[in-house]
Amino acid sequence: MDLETVDRRGRPHGGKCWIVRKKFNVFEFDFFSPNYSLLKICYGLKNFNFVGVWVPFDNGSIERLVNFISFLSSLESILDVYSNESIIFLGDWNCDLNRGKRFDKLLKNFIINNDLIDCFLLFDQRIDYTYKKKDYISKIDHIFTRSQEIKNIKYYEVIDEPTSLSDHNAVNCFIDLVEDTGDYNEEEESQKDFHYFDWKDQDFVEIYQNFLNKNLDFLFPKVNIDFYNNLSECTSLIDEIYENLPRILLKSAREAEKICKKSKKPRRAFKTNYSNNLEINALSQEINQLYAAFKSTDFKDTSIRKEINLKKKEFKN
């Protein structure tokens, strides 16, 4: 990186990054949210997920509160997705667990409900704050992990570096990636694999979009509420979206994949060998694709039905 080209106006202009030693296999990284980023590394047969967070401070507005509730819902979704893998949340939360402000209370409930532990509490600390501005101090930078994984945390220290120009103290945490995190079954873990959908297949993508539009129908009418005057409805809507959206996306992809596999099955062998007849094969493939499109409309598109019947007559002739 050429530091001369870096924008030096501060954090809002500097962007985000993960700096990882080359010996670790980076399996996945995402910067899909302004409030957190995800890094997945593979070490041996295990996956470790690190979620780096930055939360805007609570300025008392409803917008910030809604954003914070949405942010916590996102983290709960991540915990569900990686329920069988190690996960560590770290960063600037702008929440002090020893205070009683509204963000602080929400974060406390999030920690309790998801059985997380603040790594700060695992070791004696010489410094009990991570942020200082004049005479004001607070502990708003945290590292959280699941309670059953605390034996992986070997060291944690808040560092007060006199030469640092930041108003935040650095945190030094040593995590043992080799230590077993529980009832780990090596044979069972080695058999796990990720399923990849073929997003390069244009037929699959088109059918997926049709199913997605159909499966999202029940959510669309619900988003037309006042986001600024009706906080309780907005909060319920956010929870409902985060609960249902991953399922809808996955369901739509699976339905599309099922249709594509059916339309691309090898043709049954006939006594008369038509396998080399390009015209028949092309017509058969076209009928299968029309049927897949017809099914994605719940068999309601009459124009596709008529086209299928015409193609079938042509096929018989």
The pLDDT assigned to 181 comes to 45
Residue 183 has pLDDT above 60, yes or no: no
Mean of pLDDT over the chain: 79
Contact between 78 and 65 under an 8 Å Cβ cutoff? The reply is no
- C-alpha 151/C-alpha 127 separation (Å) is 22
**Could you tell me the pLDDT band of residue 191, with boundaries at 50, 70 and 90?**
very low
Residue 211 has pLDDT above 80, yes or no: yes
Share of the chain above pLDDT 70, in %: 77
Same domain, 160 and 230: no
Decide which of 312 and 87 is more confident. Answer: 87
The pLDDT assigned to 126 comes to 87
CA 33 to chain centre: 9
Same domain, 143 and 228: no
- C-alpha 141/C-alpha 94 separation (Å) is 7
Same domain, 96 and 177: yes
The pLDDT assigned to 102 comes to 94
Residue 293 one-letter amino acid:
A
Same domain, 291 and 242: yes
Per residue, what are the HEC states of the chain?
CCHHHCCCCCHHHHCCCCCCCCCCEEEEEECCCCCEEEEEEEECCEEEEEEEEECCCCCCCHHHHHHHHHHHHHHHHHHHHCCCCEEEEEEECCCCCCCCCHHHHHHHHHHHHCCEEEHHHHCCCCCCCCEEECCEEECCEEEEEEHHHHHHEEEEEEECCCCCCCCECEEEEEECCCCCCCCCCHHHHHCCCCCCCCCCCHHHHHHHHHHHHHHCCCCHHHHCCCCCCCHHHHHHHHHHHHHHHHHHHHHHHHHHHHHHHHHCCCCCCCCCCCCCCHHHHHHHHHHHHHHHHHHHCCCCCHHHHHHHHHHHHHHHC
Q: Is residue 262 part of a domain?
A: yes
What Rg do the C-alpha atoms of the chain give, in angstroms? 26
The pLDDT assigned to 146 comes to 94
Nearest partner of 31 among 14, 7, 6, 9, judged by Cα? 14
Same domain, 184 and 214: no
Same domain, 182 and 213: no
The pLDDT assigned to 261 comes to 74
Q: Is residue 197 part of a domain?
A: no
Decide which of 154 and 216 is more confident. Answer: 154
Same domain, 206 and 186: no
Burial of 107 (0-12, 13-18, 19+ CB in 10 A): buried
The pLDDT assigned to 103 comes to 95
Q: Is residue 196 part of a domain?
A: no
Same domain, 157 and 16: yes
Contact between 169 and 159 under an 8 Å Cβ cutoff? The reply is yes
Residue tagged 């295990």 (tokens):
46
Contacts of 161 (CB under 8 A, 6+ apart): 169, 170
Decide which of 240 and 188 is more confident. Answer: 240
Kindly report the length of the chain: 317
The pLDDT assigned to 266 comes to 57
Same domain, 231 and 293: yes
Q: Which two tokens stand for residue 267?
A: 């043709």
Domain boundaries, position 163: 3-190
- C-alpha 160/C-alpha 139 separation (Å) is 13
Contacts of 131 (CB under 8 A, 6+ apart): 137, 138, 139, 140, 141, 167, 168, 169
Q: Which two tokens stand for residue 154?
A: 């070997």
Q: Is residue 290 part of a domain?
A: yes
Domains identified in the chain, total number: 2
pTM listed for this prediction: 0.56
Q: Note the pLDDT tens digit of each residue in 63-79.
A: 899 889 989 988 998 89
Q: Note the pLDDT tens digit of each residue in 270-301.
A: 445 555 667 777 777 787 787 777 777 777 78
**Could you tell me the pLDDT band of residue 38, with boundaries at 50, 70 and 90?**
very high
Which domain CATH number covers 66? Answer: 3.60.10.10
Same domain, 69 and 185: yes
Decide which of 38 and 231 is more confident. Answer: 38
**Could you tell me the pLDDT band of residue 53, with boundaries at 50, 70 and 90?**
very high
Same domain, 228 and 285: yes
Residue 15 has pLDDT above 80, yes or no: no
